[in-house]
């Protein structure tokens, strides 16, 4: 497959024009408040159908990042149940946009919980979610009780969700922060999940195994950009860069030349 390199724009009202101006070949947006529980909405003139038609005509895949508050692993009913509902609402809207996937963080349980309950909660969530588009679970940077931080926990998670249509999104900054060696990360994760559906290519402002999720542009990154490049080459899937402007344009050019 052709490997496309794109960027994340938050809730940009015109992500297509933004992508074209930057030279991005695909893009990721958020729908609604990423820190809120309200039903997601799309802020695009003409709505979901017009965005779907436009991106289809341009062969420009769209990804949607679900709200950060979603934690379907939680043992707290007041968090887990609304999170499932919000995830489904996001998937439903993504289907209208004809998105290539919905990215959602792996979530966590508390220190007093049995982690296996969290993995099982993920199983229940994905089995009950009508996946009109793929749900891509993203690895996270910190937390000893996180469901998708370490290779061991990703393996435990996939033993519970691997029979479904759930996919995987590998974030380079998060993996670096979690102490996962990027030189072998793609091979090790594919041994668990069978495939990687999307890469979040991000530099890091912090040291290896810091548990800190602070993205940076590639040239300012403590995480060496050649290791980011290695992940992109090994994964052979589409890439979204979640770094700040104006440096994101240089990040895009670096990876586009890499896969050309």
- The mean of the pLDDT values for the chain is 97
pLDDT score of 174 = 98
Read off the pTM. Answer: 0.97
Three-state secondary structure of 216-231 = ECHHHCCCCHHHHHHH
How does residue 144 score in pLDDT terms, banded at 50, 70 and 90? Answer: confident
On the question of pLDDT at 247 being above 80, the answer is yes
Residue 126 and residue 69: Cα distance in Å, rounded? Answer: 17
What domains are there in the chain, each with its CATH number? Answer: 5-259 (3.20.20.150)
β-strand 203-204 against 215-216: which pairing, if any?
antiparallel
Task: Give the DSSP letter string of the chain.
Answer: -PPPEEEE-TT-S-HHHHHHHHT-SSEEEE-S-TT--SPP----TTHHHHHHHHHHHTT--EEEEPPTT--TT-S-HHHHHHHHHHHHHHHHHHHHHT-SEEEEE--B--TTS-HHHHHHHHHHHHHHS--SS-EEEEP-S--TTBTTSSHHHHHHHHHHHTTSS-EEEEEHHHHHHTT--HHHHHHHHHHHHS---EEEE-EESS-TT-----EE-GGG-SS-HHHHHHHHHHH-S-EEE---TTHHHHHHHHHHHHH-
Q: Give the model confidence (pLDDT) of 156-208 as tens digits.
A: 999 999 999 999 999 999 999 999 999 999 999 999 999 999 999 999 999 99
Average pLDDT on 255-259 reads 97
């Amino acid at each position: 497959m052709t490997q496309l390199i794109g960027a994340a724009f938050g809730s940009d009202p015109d992500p297509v024009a933004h992508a074209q101006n930057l030279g991005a070949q695909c893009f990721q947006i958020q729908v609604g408040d990423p820190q809120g529980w309200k039903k997601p909405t799309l802020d695009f003139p003409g709505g979901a159908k017009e965005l779907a038609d436009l991106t289809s005509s341009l062969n420009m895949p769209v990804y949607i990042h679900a709200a950060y508050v979603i934690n379907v692993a939680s043992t707290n009913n007041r968090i887990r149940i609304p999170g499932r509902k919000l995830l489904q609402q996001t998937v439903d809207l993504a289907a209208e946009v004809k998105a290539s996937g919905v990215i959602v963080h792996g979530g966590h349980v508390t220190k007093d919980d049995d982690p296996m309950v969290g993995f099982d909660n993920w199983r229940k969530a994905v089995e009950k979610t009508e996946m009109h588009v793929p749900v891509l679970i993203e690895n996270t940077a910190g937390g000893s009780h996180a469901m998708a931080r370490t290779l061991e926990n990703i393996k435990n998670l996939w033993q519970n969700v691997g029979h479904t249509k759930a996919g995987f999104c590998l974030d380079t900054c998060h993996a670096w922060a979690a102490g996962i060696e990027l030189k072998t990360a793609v091979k090790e994760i594919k041994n668990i999940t069978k495939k990687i559906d999307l890469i979040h290519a991000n530099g890091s402002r912090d040291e290896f195994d810091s548990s800190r999720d602070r993205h940076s542009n590639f040239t300012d990154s403590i995480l060496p950009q050649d290791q980011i490049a290695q992940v992109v080459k090994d994964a052979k899937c589409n890439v979204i860069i979640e770094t700040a402007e104006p440096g994101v344009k240089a990040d895009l050019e670096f990876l586009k030349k890499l896969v050309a």
